[in-house]
């Protein structure tokens, strides 16, 4: 029965995120908020909403292994499986701005998380812990990052580098009848309820499955839960790749990884401090190594080709075997 509830939870998470993004975007357009700002905020949150729901729910229940495993596992899945599969479908191009700003920032965020979790080595503490104070520091950096993104986009828009189709009377969207505000609000509320309810189902089911098989919650978080909550990123990136908009795949992955660390995991730790055991520290070290490898692939030829995509997918399979056997 736990497996059925787990699948239902994933469906609620994915469809809830879809409804939330649609409703929230429609509300934002009603109040004439530029579409590129909607993309930088609401849509970015929407694809990471499953991770947020699961990790935050787990934090409230004191299940830190699921909260941490979900974020680390999701970020690894994004870099190895999502980018790798998209590159196998069609070589991925990467914008220079992502290579210069967002991608290095995501690597630095992961390194900062690892350093914050090394209290025994650097802080002289009794255990490795991501404290509430450290969590709020990460959230502050997230706010600064979002502010920088929005101000950069506004600057690009003024200079003509970004054309906001939502403000263009000649755009294809212009003739379409606007959705009533009450319908948009209802869609957003239903979506949010689906995200919250799905998060509860996934966490409870994952815990029950872990107990029934006698395996750790950390392993469940790194595998089943991480893959399930990363489905929006996988679907969005594959659709973008098949439509020839492959640069969206890297942007989606990098943005999601930053959001997962600086907001999802940080907010989870602000609710309940998260402890890092040796396995978690090793997984973070692997995440940093994988981030650097993907960055090297991307920066060498301004993209990721099929051979490199195959390497990334193979590494993910190898990582799955490693964490199951360890």
Half-sphere exposure of 120 (CA within 13 A, CB side): 9
pLDDT at 267: 92
Least confident stretch, 120-124, 143-147, 160-164, 177-181: 160-164
- Dihedral sign for Cα 229, 269, 285, 69, please: negative
Least confident stretch, 92-96, 198-202, 245-249: 245-249
**Which residue range is the domain that position 120 belongs to?**
2-325
Half-sphere exposure of 214 (CA within 13 A, CB side): 0
pLDDT at 161: 55
- Whether 24 and 172 have beta carbons less than 8 Å apart is answered as no
What is the residue-wise DSSP string for 68-121? HHHHHHHHHIIIIIIHHHHHHHSPEE--HHIIIIIHHHHHHHHHHHHHHT-III
pLDDT at 166: 43
* Cα 280 to chain centroid, rounded: 18
C-alpha to C-alpha distance for 58 and 47, rounded to whole angstroms: 19
C-alpha to C-alpha distance for 296 and 153, rounded to whole angstroms: 26
pLDDT-derived band at 326 (thresholds 50, 70, 90) equals confident
Out of 5-14, 35-44, 217-226, the most confident range is 5-14
- Whether 205 and 11 have beta carbons less than 8 Å apart is answered as no
Asked whether the predicted pLDDT for residue 311 surpasses 90, the reply is: yes
- What are the two backbone dihedrals, phi and then psi, of residue 130, each rounded to the nearest 5 degrees? -90, 100
Which tens digits make up the pLDDT trace of 81-108? 999 998 998 888 877 777 888 889 999 9
Which tens digits make up the pLDDT trace of 156-180? 667 665 544 444 433 444 444 567 8
pLDDT at 157: 65
pLDDT-derived band at 265 (thresholds 50, 70, 90) equals very high
pLDDT at 129: 83
Give me the number of domains the chain comprises: 1
pLDDT at 173: 42
pLDDT at 316: 95
- Whether 226 and 30 have beta carbons less than 8 Å apart is answered as no
Closest-CA residue to 130 (of 266, 320, 310, 301): 266
C-alpha to C-alpha distance for 85 and 144, rounded to whole angstroms: 32
Higher pLDDT, 176 or 186: 186
Which tens digits make up the pLDDT trace of 278-291? 888 999 999 999 99
CA gyration radius, the chain:
20
Query: Please, which residues bridge with residue 129 across strands?
Result: 275
Asked whether the predicted pLDDT for residue 79 surpasses 80, the reply is: yes
Closest-CA residue to 63 (of 245, 255, 272): 272
Please report, for the domain that includes residue 97, its CATH number: 1.20.1420.30
pLDDT at 102: 84
pLDDT at 93: 81
Once rounded to an integer, what is the mean pLDDT over residues 111-122?
A: 84
Question: Helix, strand, or coil here: 274?
Answer: strand
Out of 40-49, 166-175, 204-213, the most confident range is 204-213
C-alpha to C-alpha distance for 229 and 209, rounded to whole angstroms: 17
C-alpha to C-alpha distance for 266 and 248, rounded to whole angstroms: 25
Number of H helices, E strands in the chain: 16, 4
Query: In this structure, what token pair is assigned to residue 64?
Result: 């830190």
Q: What is the mean pLDDT of the chain?
A: 81
pLDDT-derived band at 221 (thresholds 50, 70, 90) equals confident
pLDDT at 37: 60
C-alpha to C-alpha distance for 50 and 309, rounded to whole angstroms: 25
Once rounded to an integer, what is the mean pLDDT over residues 66-76?
A: 89
- Whether 86 and 309 have beta carbons less than 8 Å apart is answered as yes
Asked whether the predicted pLDDT for residue 40 surpasses 60, the reply is: no
Query: In this structure, what token pair is assigned to residue 270?
Result: 């602000």
Higher pLDDT, 49 or 286: 286
């Amino acid at each position: 029965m736990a497996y059925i509830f787990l699948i239902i939870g994933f469906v609620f998470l994915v469809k809830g995120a879809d409804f939330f993004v649609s409703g929230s975007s429609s509300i934002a357009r009603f109040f004439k908020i530029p579409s590129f700002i909607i993309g930088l905020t609401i849509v970015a949150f929407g694809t990471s909403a499953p991770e947020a729901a699961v990790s935050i729910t787990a934090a409230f229940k004191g299940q830190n292994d699921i909260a941490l495993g979900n974020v680390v596992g999701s970020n690894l899945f994004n870099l190895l499986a999502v980018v790798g599969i998209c590159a196998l479908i069609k070589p991925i191009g990467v914008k220079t701005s992502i290579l210069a700003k967002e991608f290095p920032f995501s690597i630095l965020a992961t390194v900062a998380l690892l350093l914050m979790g090394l209290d025994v080595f650097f802080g002289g503490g009794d255990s490795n812990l991501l404290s509430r104070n450290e969590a709020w520091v990460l959230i502050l950096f997230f706010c600064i990052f979002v502010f920088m993104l929005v101000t950069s986009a506004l600057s690009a828009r003024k200079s003509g580098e970004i054309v906001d189709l939502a403000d263009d009377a000649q755009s294809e969207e212009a003739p379409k009848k606007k959705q009533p505000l009450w319908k948009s609000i209802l869609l957003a509320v239903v979506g949010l309820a689906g995200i919250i309810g799905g998060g509860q189902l996934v966490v409870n089911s994952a815990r029950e499955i872990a107990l029934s098989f006698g395996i750790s919650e950390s392993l469940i978080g790194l595998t089943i839960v991480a893959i399930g909550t990363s489905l929006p990123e996988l679907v969005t990136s594959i659709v973008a790749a098949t439509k020839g908009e492959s640069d969206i795949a890297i942007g989606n992955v990098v943005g999601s990884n930053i959001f997962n660390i600086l907001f999802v995991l940080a907010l989870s730790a602000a609710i309940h401090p998260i402890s890092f055991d040796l396995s978690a520290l090793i997984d973070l070290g692997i995440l940093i190594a994988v981030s650097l490898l993907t960055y090297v692939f991307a920066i060498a030829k301004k993209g990721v080709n099929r051979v490199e995509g195959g390497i990334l997918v193979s590494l993910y399979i190898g990582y799955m075997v490693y964490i199951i056997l360890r």
